[in-house]
Amino acid sequence: MKLEKDLWRELKRYKSKIKWTRLENRALFGTPDLLGYAPSGNFFLVELKLTLVNKIRFSPHQIAFFVRHPKNSFVLVACAPDPELVRLYPGSRILELVASGLKLEPLACGLAECVGWFESL
């Protein structure tokens, strides 16, 4: 996995009950990459990130978005050098994630566990 779009492709190919919509929004900076629709009828937003180090880079617009919209928003991070290790963080903890990076305890680890979390929303 080299790019965020590779993470998107892997998530899209994963068999789940989630309906995904990729958001390409150049008008509203900071809007997350994905809109998910869970089997329960709940919508949620996911920002995709790929990092080569402990730190995760966010734009000020992305941080502001998560501060304003802390519920049903998430950050899904693929961690190199082990890109198979995917971590899920709640948007409500964006400031801690910016400060601590991958040292922050994730909600879920691994793609299967992360997708299971989304399916339970």
CATH (domain of 9)? 3.40.1350
Q: What pLDDT score was predicted for residue 31?
A: 93
Q: What pLDDT score was predicted for residue 2?
A: 65
Q: What pLDDT score was predicted for residue 28?
A: 80
* Range in 25-39, 40-54, 76-90 the model is least confident about: 76-90
What DSSP assignment string belongs to 58-114? --HHHHHHHHH--TTEEEEEEETT-TT-EEEEEGGGHHHHHHHGGGSPPSEESHHHH
Phi, psi of 89 (to 5 degrees): -125, 145
Domain that holds residue 56: 4-119
Question: Residue 52: which pLDDT band, with cuts at 50, 70 and 90?
Answer: confident
Domain count, the chain: 1
- Would you say the pTM of this structure is higher than 0.85? yes
